[in-house]
A and B are shown apart, each in its own frame.
Chain A
Amino acid sequence: DIQLTQSPSFLSPSLGDRVTITCRASQAISNYLAWFQQKPGKAPILLIYSASTLQSGVPSRFSGSGSGTEFTLTITSLQPEDFATYYCQHLDSYPLTFGQGTRLEIK
């Protein structure tokens, strides 16, 4: 099974900051990676797919990059509604797996 490791697990940035979250895969997965945002008690929301394609309706301050085994999610100019937990997920082979999550809490 392919393992995804996110770093860091926890971040405490300030409003307006630029944030980068990394997702490393245990083997190459081409660009078959998605990023989700989840707020407490709510279903996840798809932000990015194919590693760098912004899902319709997602603000342009979110961006994704990477291929192979290393991927990043970047949020420029953090807004209050961005404080949430972020997950990566690979779609290369079964079983599909998620990273352990990165929690953003306002400083």
Chain B
Amino acid sequence: EVQLVESGGGLVQPGGSLRLSCAGSGFSFSDHFMDWVRQAPGKGLEWVGRLRDKTQSFTTEYTASVKGRFSISRDESKNSMFLQMNSLKVEDTAVYYCARGFCSGGTCYTGDKWGQGTLVTVSS
């Protein structure tokens, strides 16, 4: 069974850092695009970033509001993906989800499988 489990959320002060983890089972991260998506309290979904698969050399993409502050990486030995978040702002407060992607018909889609999410609160 495919499972994704996020961890690492918590309370952090503005300007601080946090590292989220997404551990996968039942599939190999190397064979899938992986996304981070967040949801601020009471708000809609926001795509944060993407880690491409081995066929595209594990390159990354980010939304503009996190570019230069957040970075996505992976550890193949742990079948895990990470979101390193630096220079955190109050507006980064959200539940962060990791999601497995799949490719079809010329593009790659987010989220045929999602984790349960982990809450990040940025507050002084």
Partner of A94, one of B37, B61, B99: B61
B46 touches A43 (CB 8 A): no
Residues of A within 8 A of B97 (CB): 43-44
Q: In the bound complex, how far is the Cα of B105 from the Cα of A31, in angstroms? A: 9
Do residues B109 and A49 form an inter-chain contact, with CB atoms below 8 A? yes
Query: Using Cβ atoms and an 8 Å threshold, which residues of chain A touch B111?
Result: 34, 36, 44, 46
Complex-state Cα separation, A95 to B38, whole angstroms = 14
- Does B47 contact A43, Cβ atoms closer than 8 Å? no
The distance in angstroms between the C-alpha atoms of A89 and B112, with both chains bound, is 13
Q: Which residues in B have their C-beta under 8 angstroms from that of A92? A: 107
8 Å CB contacts to B: which residues of A67-107?
87, 89, 91-92, 94-101
**Shortest Cβ distance from residue A88 to the other chain B in the assembled complex, whole angstroms:** 10
Which residues of the other chain, B, contact A87 by a CB distance below 8 angstroms? 44-45
A53 and B46 in contact (CB under 8 A), knowing A43-B97, A43-B115, A44-B111? no
- The answer to whether B105 touches A95 (Cβ under 8 A) is no
Residues B108 and A101 in contact, CB atoms below 8 Å apart = no
Q: Does A50 contact B (CB under 8 A)?
A: yes
Could you give, for residues 24-52 of chain A, a 1 whenever the CB lies within 8 Å of some chain B CB and a 0 otherwise?
A: 00000011101010100001111001100
Please, which residues of chain B bring their CB within 8 A of the CB of A96? 35, 47, 50, 110
Using a CB–CB distance below 8 Å, which chain A residues touch chain B?
1, 30-32, 34, 36, 38, 43-46, 49-50, 53, 55, 87, 89, 91-92, 94-101
Which residues on B are within 8 Å of A, measured CB to CB? Answer: 35, 37, 44-47, 50, 61-64, 97, 99, 104-112, 114-117
